[in-house]
Chain A
């Protein structure tokens, strides 16, 4: 179990985290969502021991990071956002080095390396130097390096950035396997579909605060129940400046409305009819995580 109790963190006068409380149950795959600069990586760094909270406590499986940092770090596997591996070493040499940092030696280490190389699908390339690997392959080794010591908590900071669907799927399989083994996974990403597929619990955070936390269903129920309605037309659209009573935007020639189906749709259809626009098709979609995310964090661009 991971617990953040009244955790605050400040860099000089700048408050990065303010009284954050969060509990991640043992064995959960916990999705952490937030725009750039929301504090996701900071949360990972506080958990991995890279940063120390200014106040409050971060507890991992009963061990306080402030008092038992080294013991807690032994329980944690950290997959950083960057590919934090030595490019001049082979995959096996990298894993041997990182395994030895956790006190794993000899046959145990070699056995674990073979097992992980098989699970990431790189057994045949294990002795090739890393710089000859593709981005996806490196990402998989990056994950393997965090799992060598059989951690009970795994922190994954955007582990699927910039990789092909095959590698991404293999990473999903690894996470699902960790979940089956009862490992607690904290998974940070920008991809909503990944969270929807993998995570039993989700938190959305912004500006160093947890905005909402719960299961996917809990989160969707808490939203404004806004539907997305996509309308396509018979003829080519030339005038995109429509005055409609609901929030809308154009996706090429498809009109996308964000509205409550019952209330506003009739009014929109009447307006379109009065303009002589002939509707070819209407698609309704259920409220989703992305809509909720935008609703909570806003549409302003972030650094």
Chain B
């Protein structure tokens, strides 16, 4: 158990690495998925976002 004294801590150690692998795999598999278009809605949202930024 990598020298750890408790199986719960060992499990946490392993799960940290496994969950990272899960995330990296998800990214890799879905790298080009989901729509990547810009709608009118996006443009008006971005215009207002610029104003919000300027007001800060």
A binds B: no
Chain B residues close to A by CB (< 8 Å):
none
